[in-house]
Amino acid sequence: MTISPKFEAKIGGKTITIDREKCRWNRFSDAEYDRRHDLVRNFMREKELDCLLIGGGEIHYGKGWTNIRWVSNYYDYAAYAYVVFPLEGDPTICCWFNNPHDLAASVIDDIRADYDTSKIAVNRLKELGLEKGKIAVVEHCTSTPREHYETFLKQLPDAKFQFIFEDFMRIRWQKSAEEIERLEIAGELGDLAIKAIATKLRPGMKEYDLFSIAYNSILANGGEPRLMLLASDSMRDPIRAPSVHIQDIRPMPRTIQSGDIIVQEIGPCYDSYECQTGKPITMGEPTDTYKEMFDIAMKVYHKATEQFRTGKGDSEVRNAIMNDSELARIVEQERLLLIFHGMHGVTPHDGPVYSIGPVYMLAGGELPHLFHPISLKPNTSHTIEIWVRTPDFKGSLFLAESLLVTDDAPRRLNKYPLQLTAI
């Protein structure tokens, strides 16, 4: 692929010139996009498909754009969009938002914008002669809008449509050197956010300040603050019980006090590559209960990650935890939850997801459809998340970071110390 400095986009029946040189967005190398497009076409050959309709939109912390960004570098914040990606012929972006600056980010030249993106997709499929083609709709985080699917069936009644989820994500699991570089930058952004909280947050501030510190740190260092779940709570008199997941997407109107614990689940993105992390911070000296909970979390972390390498999987991780009598007892008491999940966009279509402990502590109900066996491959990225509850179930501590699988010990993508930080 050779990415030209200028191209023509079709916007609402008009053609406009897009100058990439005036809008210097980050993007991967031409060779990297060639690699990705080859993977897509090989996937279609394997599945005997004529075309993919790769869909996405602004949902789930903006991650609904993950697959579109991966093949095109394009995303916006408006209507549900598609990339029509044929086995034979050039791909086309079907979008609604027509800001030339955003269009310039795309590495695909054929961009067509209209409010009804399904209509653009249908017209392109007809151009390609795929009225009777085998077409797979690639969904992510959300289902295709009903009215769009009805349009596809009505306008292309002889086409053979199917929907794919995790199968498509599999081609993205093993990362290239350029992708790993982005993951490392995203990991550093998470570290900077936690360091900023530890440096700037003080008793008397509001949870609004907590969120502001984390967001500003990521933005100021060139990242996208996608996943941001934060919370403060008293170590001695918690208010967020009984849920183990005390992190929240929005701040409470609460004043942070001495004796609080600050819990974060932060997932900054860099060029759409995310590394989730979370390191507990206490306002003042942690209580003995929280020291004990952190020690439990660290024991789980080390036992689990010792097994987390190429060729191993969920059985080795489970055995490492459950063969330890202390940890097995804590799991049985429903005080411990461990989750590993792929870090390629967002769960549940994001790779293997595995848990030890009662997941209803987190979700309010069993979610067996999310969890799959792990078979670890090199250069795949994963997040380990550990929740430990107080014996009375009124408080919770959270520890997380992202890892890259290698043949030896996993590479930590986050470098912030594995410690219970007191400020």
How confident is the model at residue 62, as a pLDDT? 67
Sequence ranges of the domains in the chain: 6-170, 177-422
347 pLDDT higher than 50: no
Average pLDDT over residues 105-124: 93
* Contact predicate 376/310, CB 8 Å: yes
* Contact predicate 403/275, CB 8 Å: no
Report residue 210 CA to chain centroid gap. 22
Average pLDDT over residues 264-268: 94
> Which residue from 396, 417, 411 is spatially nearest to 247, judged by alpha carbons?
396
How confident is the model at residue 19, as a pLDDT? 86
How confident is the model at residue 241, as a pLDDT? 63
Region of poorest pLDDT, from 94-108, 125-139, 283-297: 94-108
* Per-residue tokens: 184: 């490392």
Q: In what order do the strands lie in the sheet with 411-412?
A: 353-356, 336-342, 381-389, 396-404, 411-412
How confident is the model at residue 143, as a pLDDT? 77
Q: Report helix, strand or coil for 25.
A: coil
How confident is the model at residue 49, as a pLDDT? 98
* Per-residue tokens: 282: 């206490």
Average pLDDT over residues 204-225: 96
Cα angle value 355/360/361 (rounded, 5°): 90
> Which residue from 55, 58, 77, 78 is spatially nearest to 67, judged by alpha carbons?
55
> Which residue from 193, 135, 127, 200 is spatially nearest to 162, judged by alpha carbons?
135
Q: Which of 142-146, 275-279, 330-334 has the highest mean pLDDT?
A: 275-279
Report the chain's mean pLDDT, rounded to a whole number.
89
Place of tokens 């614990």: 261
**Using CB atoms within 10 A of its CB, is residue 253 exposed (0-12), middle (13-18) or buried (19+)?**
exposed
Region of poorest pLDDT, from 76-80, 227-231, 339-343, 364-368: 364-368
pLDDT band at 39 (very low <50, low <70, confident <90, very high): very high
45 pLDDT higher than 80: yes
* Contact predicate 403/383, CB 8 Å: yes
269 pLDDT higher than 70: yes
Q: Which of 58-72, 174-188, 339-353 has the highest mean pLDDT?
A: 174-188
What string of DSSP letters covers 307-340? T-STT-BHHHHHHHHHTSHHHHHHHHTT-EEEEE
Q: Report the percentage of the chain scoring pLDDT > 70.
A: 91
Read off the pTM. 0.92
Q: What are 54's strand-pairing partners? A: 83, 138
pLDDT, one tens digit per residue, over 388-410 is 999 988 899 999 999 999 988 99
How confident is the model at residue 349, as a pLDDT? 47
Query: CA 392, CA 147: separation in Å to the nearest integer?
Result: 49
- HSE at residue 89, side-chain half, CA atoms within 13 A, is 17
302 pLDDT higher than 80: yes
95 pLDDT higher than 80: yes
How confident is the model at residue 141, as a pLDDT? 67
* Contact predicate 384/305, CB 8 Å: yes
Region of poorest pLDDT, from 65-69, 318-322, 367-371, 416-420: 367-371
How confident is the model at residue 410, as a pLDDT? 93
Neighbouring residues of 162: CB distance < 8 A, sequence distance ≥ 6: 134, 135, 136, 137
> Which residue from 306, 301, 328, 312 is spatially nearest to 387, judged by alpha carbons?
301
How confident is the model at residue 351, as a pLDDT? 60
Region of poorest pLDDT, from 7-16, 169-178, 326-335, 378-387: 7-16
How confident is the model at residue 1, as a pLDDT? 75
Architecture of domain 6-170: 3-Layer(aba) Sandwich (3.40)
Q: Higher-confidence residue: 301 or 24?
A: 301
* Per-residue tokens: 15: 């053609």
pLDDT band at 313 (very low <50, low <70, confident <90, very high): confident
What string of DSSP letters covers 252-293? -S-B--TTEEEEEEEEEEETTEE--BB--EESSSPPHHHHHH
Q: Which amino acid is at 38?
A: D
> Which residue from 189, 218, 179, 163 is spatially nearest to 69, judged by alpha carbons?
179
How confident is the model at residue 110, as a pLDDT? 94
369 pLDDT higher than 70: no
Query: CA 180, CA 172: separation in Å to the nearest integer?
Result: 12
pLDDT band at 360 (very low <50, low <70, confident <90, very high): low
Element (H, E) at 93: strand 92-95
pLDDT, one tens digit per residue, over 76-88 is 877 789 999 999 9
Specify whether the backbone of 60 is left (phi greater than 0), alpha (psi in -120 to 50) or beta. Answer: left
Architecture of domain 177-422: Alpha-Beta Complex (3.90)
Place of tokens 């060029």: 271
Average pLDDT over residues 365-372: 53
Q: Which of 99-103, 242-246, 354-358 has the highest mean pLDDT?
A: 99-103
Query: CA 241, CA 278: separation in Å to the nearest integer?
Result: 19
* Contact predicate 159/152, CB 8 Å: yes
How confident is the model at residue 74, as a pLDDT? 92
